[in-house]
Amino acid sequence: MLPAEPARPAARDDLARNPGIDLLRGLAIVLVVFNHIGLRIPLKKTALAEVLPTWLLSRLNYNGYEAVFVFFVISGFLIAGNALRRWGSLERIDLRAFYARRFARIVPCLLVLVAVLSVLHLLAVPDYTITRAGQSLPHAILAALGLHLNWYEGQTGYLPGSWDVLWSLSIEEVFYIGFPLLCLLTRRRAVLLPMLALLALSLPFTRSMLDGNEIWQEKAYLPGMAAIATGVIGALLAARWPVPSAGQARALYVFGAVGLLASMLGGRWLWPLLHDGVMLLLTMSAMSLLIACQARPPRPWRGLGWLRSWGRLSYEVYLSHMFVVFPLVWLYRASGGDVTLGFLWYPPALLLCWGLGALVARGVSQPCERWLRRRLVEPVGAARPTTAELPVA
């Protein structure tokens, strides 16, 4: 049995309750929802274009992919950071406890989602039915549960939206199947860290090498894993640099915020210069913000509690939001589809997405996670878990 974990500073016990990290997660999931609404009701075609620049409205709608990569970085940072707090070092990870925690957090919602989507497909509900040639319900189920839905889409084309969101989950969980094994095999941070750095820095090259298959370039394993590795590196750096000075923390905040804004809002200017290097700027900026948030958490900003709440529900909202987006788009089209007033559909969509995510958390993920952890984690002598400590994109 592993020795008891060392005493930890009370203010930093639970990374998932850090207000800065919650804000970053909240921003990312809102951008994902905006993306999936914007593909159907683009803001740049609404009356907002008369008062706001169209490039800004486009960036609000079309940063969903970048937001998922921010989620990848956050996930690597939190999971590695929580592992360091629980076991003291990554080379002492308890495999059974690690996998049990991942299973308890991920699988209940995943099984419910796949079951609901299967029923909707069999009922031939529009936008939830798999109709593309070469695709089938059994193969989609196998891809979703077998953690290769991203590969399946790369080979056969896009699945309906509620299935499509599972591409990122496939990348994350394949990484976390191998990650603790790599930690136990390398045994030394001096060996592990260069390997993670090589993977993290490979992001621009692995994306550019996949040019020619748009779907596979976006959803291949290596680029997503590179972003997760960046988050893991951030956690390791934060553990070795626990209390940066106020000036150092401020520099991290500034670099992270400027880099994140530049890569998300300035892509039309940066891509011709940096090409796929923009994605590396995005992931490094997210890592900088996470290190700063852990070391010197920002004060909760008044009026942004709703966004922090979105961050805490990010996994549930991510999996369920297309059950709001499609029905609202149906209503929008049935009402005449006046695109100039299309922006009016965004506030109710956001409210309903949050509400559905909260219901899924309260009714499925949280009780199932508690029940599974009591049976899978506590029997191996691990520390008593906190609820929903890990976000997933």
Min mean pLDDT across 1-10, 226-235, 316-325, 352-361 is at 1-10
Whether 274 is covered by a domain: the verdict is yes
Q: Which segments within the chain are labelled E, that is strand?
A: none
Give whole-number Cα distances, 150 to 127, 169, 192, in Å: 19, 9, 27
Decide if 33 contacts 62 (C-beta within 8 A): no
How far is CA 240 from its chain centroid? 25
Maximum distance among all Cα pairs of the chain, rounded to whole angstroms: 65
What CA–CA distances, in Å, run from 129 to 118, 135, 307?
9, 11, 32
The rounded mean pLDDT for the chain is: 90
- Give the amino acid at 8: R
**Contacts from 245-251 at CB under 8 Å and sequence distance 24+?**
246/296, 249/292, 249/295, 249/296
pLDDT at residue 78 tops 90: yes
Query: Does residue 92 register a pLDDT over 80?
Result: yes
Name the domain count of the chain.
1
Let me know if residue 95 belongs to a domain: yes
Whether the predicted pLDDT of 311 surpasses 80: yes
- CA 267 from centre of chain: 20
* Structure tokens belonging to residue 266: 């300035």
> Which residues form the domain of 146?
12-380
Q: Would residue 388 count as lying in a domain?
A: no
Joined tokens for residue 260: 């994140």
Alpha helices in the chain (DSSP H): 19-38, 54-61, 64-87, 95-122, 137-145, 149-156, 161-164, 167-186, 189-201, 203-209, 214-219, 221-240, 246-265, 267-274, 277-295, 305-312, 314-320, 322-334, 346-360, 366-376
Asked if residue 393 belongs to a domain, the reply is: no
Mean of pLDDT values over 303-320: 96
- Tell me the pLDDT tens digit for each residue of 154-197: 999 999 999 999 999 999 999 999 999 999 999 888 899 999 99
Using CA atoms, how far residue 137 sits from 143, 145, 361, in Å, is 10, 12, 26
223: which DSSP letter? H
Task: Report pLDDT for 5.
Answer: 33
Predicted confidence at residue 273, as pLDDT, reads 86
Mean pLDDT of 244-265: 93
Asked if the model's pLDDT at residue 275 lies above 50, the reply is yes
**Encoded amino acid at 275, one letter:** H
CA distances from 17 to 20, 172, 274 (A): 9, 21, 35
Q: What is the pTM of this model?
A: 0.91
Return the pLDDT at 379. Answer: 62
Q: In the 8-state DSSP scheme, what is residue 151?
A: H
Confidence of residue 14 (pLDDT cuts 50, 70, 90): low
The predicted-structure confidence for 54-75, as pLDDT tens digits, reads as follows 999 999 999 999 999 999 999 9
pLDDT of 237 higher than 80: yes
- The structure tokens 């796949």 sit at 114
**307's tokens:** 């966004």
Rounded Cα distance between 68 and 165, Å, is: 10
